[in-house]
Structure 1
């Protein structure tokens, strides 16, 4: 007689199946058509299992996005802030231009009417990446590569605001976004005699 299945292992498999089903359905059918019922059916779990772990389809989709991204948007530190930002911005824009971007747009749209989901977007997606970016900018400030009279938060907004405008509003091509890094850095570099 075989031992009974480990409940933790079963839970981990169900959790992953739900994330995979959510991402797959959102990409194939569109985020707007995504339902808890469809996710449960595709993952082979009951709706009550989903609601035990997540408050909404947006929360599941957000976790699925973060799982898909992994380290793709991490900040390198080669010692060259321009090269590092171009690498990071290129990875971010590729992600936004692909399946992750399609699902993320839907989550952001839903978050406009769901304060809990908006907080989750900030806490699990935006803030960790913004904090990593600000840490990298602080290193560049300390190395004298960029000026220190602006806060890293202001610099982060200057660098990533245009990307989000392109991503969310379609005002410009995401493929061109890495080319904005150098002109923005020109304004952030120390001024002679300052």
Structure 2
């Protein structure tokens, strides 16, 4: 469970440090490790959570997370969300554009990771701010003002069942090539390799 402490601290930081107010409807765009941990923590602190995903076979990975699963089509036809967390950032502006489409007027979008330097948002800023949408950046975690890492350890310790589905034991370090091949085949979230305690995403 300790391998989840760092990504859980990132998930907690995104919700804790964004000044979100009372829990309401929360959408998390992205069903990777940070996205599912954000959803799990959001549910733990009282949010009504929906995980928006584009991939297949998510049911197994999200088994312990107290959240609805929605495809992109399902999410875009639902009632707008109070808060949307973009946990799928990367080389395309599509996750942030989706988050902006899903949030209600006056709501908040939290961008939980960093985009690649060349990514440009196609949505005009005027369209965002006319709707009074608040954009909040949240990268990594902090040890001051609440100790995200300590909160992560406490959350993981109190809800082992919610997070067990995010882990898979794939083998040991005596045959690293075949272990990596199995990980690639299964496309799991966090991997624990026996023998060295090495972790990877």
Shorter-chain-normalised TM-score: which range?
Answer: under 0.3
- More strand per residue: 2
TM-score by length of structure 2 reads 0.22
- More helix per residue: 1
Greater relative CO (CA pairs within 8 A, separation 6+): 2
Larger Rg: 1
